[in-house]
Amino acid sequence: MSEILPPRGYKKEDTEKRKKWLEKKTGFHLNETGPDNPEDFKGIIENHVGYMHLPLAIAGPLLINGTYAKGELYIPLCTLEGTLTMSMTRGLFLTHLSGGIKTNHIKQELSRSPIFIFNDVDKNKPFISWISENFETIKREAESTTHHGKLLRIDKYPSQNSVILDFVYDTGEASGQNMVTIATHKACKYINEN
């Protein structure tokens, strides 16, 4: 077996071999217990009630040369889906043999794209103009729902009797899925009321 692939097998000793192998490859010691203090989860999850065991596997190696991530990485994967880990490992191993994956971070943006539908196609142009003229107010409305999200722009895409507004945000260090949904909802409410 290759040194870059984890040892295989289903016995307890195989799991222990994989843990030792992972620690040797990454310097990471796998701690199988959760935090003793639920306060450690403050800001991460709400309504904590306990822990649930899920099988944790590793897929890889992922050889990556990116703007931020570089090197040989192993991906932790919690799954109950049979063959998923091995399928991912095969794919990642083949990319490794091909020289790895090169990536460049161009920009970090997240968007939501509600559609506004009109009874008449002639309403598109004045609506688009109104959005442009009122961008700063719409921006204030959207950003009033978040401490971290910043509305960068609203791209406008007319299509027949409708306009898709693509609200584009910078979410800082957050993934921001809920953040941009809530902010866009508030902005759309303002647009509909005005």
- Predicted confidence at residue 33, as pLDDT, reads 61
Tens digit of each residue's pLDDT (9 = 90 or more) over 158-178:
999 999 999 999 998 888 999
pTM: 0.62
* Ramachandran area for residue 45 (φ above 0: left; ψ -120 to 50: alpha; else beta): beta
DSSP annotation string for 88-125: HHHHHHHHHHTT-EE-------EEE--EEE-SSGGGHH
Q: Residue 34: its pLDDT value, please?
A: 64
Who wins on pLDDT, 68 or 156?
Answer: 156
pLDDT at 32: 66
How many angstroms from the chain centroid is the CA of residue 26? Answer: 24
Radius of gyration of the chain (CA): 24
Mean pLDDT rounded to a whole number for the chain: 90
**Other residues' Cβ atoms within 10 Å of the Cβ of residue 56:** 12
Distances (CA, A) of 104 to 2, 66, 90, 142: 29, 6, 24, 30
List of residues 6+ apart from 104 with CB closer than 8 A:
66, 67
Per DSSP, the three-state class of 158 is strand
pLDDT digits (tens, 9 = 90+) for 102-120: 999 888 899 999 999 999 9
Second CATH level (architecture) for the domain 110-193: 2-Layer Sandwich (3.30)
Where are the domain boundaries for CATH 3.30.70.420 in the chain? 110-193
Give me the amino acid identity at 50. G
